[in-house]
C-alpha cells in the first residue's frame, strides 16, 4: 500500500469518525429526552448518570480519533 493511499484512507476515517461524533453530539443536544427514555427501558440511569456516560463516551471517542486517525495522518503528511 502506498503512502498516498494510506493518507487517503486515514483522511476518510477521520472525516467519517468526526461525522459520527458530530451526529452523536447533535442527537444528545436535540433528542436527549428521547434517547434517555430509550436507554431507560434497558438501564436504570439517573439524568446525571446519563449525561456523564455520554460526555465520557464522547471524550474517549474523540481521543481515539485524535490518536488513531489524526496523528498518523499528520505524521504521513510530514514524512511524505
The beta strand positions in the chain, using DSSP E, are none
Whole-number Cα distances in Å, 75 to 4, 52, 63: 12, 33, 17
Joined grid coordinates for residue 35 = 434517547
Whether 1 has a pLDDT exceeding 80, the answer reads no
pTM: 0.88
Using DSSP's 3-state secondary structure scheme, residue 79 falls into helix
Query: How many other CB atoms sit within 10 Å of the CB of residue 33?
Result: 9
Predicted confidence (pLDDT) per residue in 22-77, tens digit: 999 999 999 999 999 999 899 999 999 999 999 999 999 999 999 999 999 999 99
Amino acid at each position: 500500500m502506498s503512502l498516498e493511499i494510506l493518507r487517503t484512507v486515514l483522511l476518510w476515517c477521520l472525516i467519517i469518525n468526526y461525522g459520527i461524533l458530530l451526529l452523536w453530539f447533535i442527537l444528545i443536544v436535540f433528542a436527549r429526552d428521547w434517547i434517555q427514555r430509550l436507554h431507560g427501558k434497558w438501564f436504570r440511569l439517573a439524568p446525571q448518570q446519563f449525561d456523564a456516560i455520554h460526555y465520557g463516551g464522547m471524550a474517549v471517542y474523540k481521543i481515539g480519533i485524535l490518536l488513531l486517525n489524526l496523528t498518523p495522518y499528520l505524521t504521513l503528511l510530514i514524512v511524505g
